[in-house]
Amino acid sequence: SSAHSARTKTTTGTRMLFARSTAPAGDWREVFQREFVDALAPNCSYAQTAKLLRRCVRTGAVSFFDIERNPEKFFEAHRMLAKRANDCGPGMWIRFTVQFNLCAGTVVALASKSQRARLKEMQAKGKLGCFCLTERLAGVNSGLVVNTRATYDRERRLFVIDSGGGGGGKKKATSR
């Protein structure tokens, strides 16, 4: 159909535009705004934001490695999406920050060469990652209120996990 053809052309054009390292700074902003920010419908569903984020990842609109290679672009993309967080629901904004900061950002900062190569493959395929740090009663404030501690036992060569009682403890985290 012509709608599908136009979408394919736009996506292909987007991929090419983002891939050009010599593109003027304004070019990526215009495309990112149109393809990923303005594309957000009010109160987007989980499935809609996942699909949009996968496309954002796959096209390289923002690279997982922009946090170190092009931080101005990295943070500008965050600002652009943040402006829409209130009217389209927090889903895309939260997913974007988890994907690019907590998941990919951690790998970029701490990974080996082979792990970084896997992250690059993940981006090329449009795969989403996750970041899990929580315990019962902690929710999204995990970094502030988590009671669980891991202590390395040199004799046994393993980590001993102490949930600290109370709200700590095992909680199954899932991701789609």
In 16-175, where do the E strands start and end?
Answer: 149-153, 158-162
CA 33, 36, 41, 43 torsion-angle sign? negative
Predicted confidence (pLDDT) at residue 59 exceeds the cutoff of 90 = yes
Which residues 6+ apart lie within 8 Å of 102 measured at CB? 131
Q: pLDDT over 70 for what percent of the chain?
A: 70
Count CA atoms closer than 13 A to 64's CA, side-chain side: 30
Measure the CA–CA gap between 139 and 142, rounded to whole angstroms: 6
Mean pLDDT, residues 145-154: 81
Pairing state between β 149-153 and 158-162: antiparallel
Give the model's pLDDT for residue 121: 97
What tokens appear for 79 in the block? 């600002």
Q: What is the pLDDT of residue 53?
A: 94
Predicted confidence (pLDDT) per residue in 3-35, tens digit: 333 333 334 444 434 443 344 455 899 999 999
The pLDDT of residue 31 is 93
Model pLDDT, residue 80: 94
Convert the pLDDT of each residue in 70-98 to its tens digit: 999 999 999 999 998 888 776 888 889 98
Q: How far apart are CA 117 and CA 108, in angstroms?
A: 10
Break the chain into its structural domains and give their ranges. 2-125, 132-176
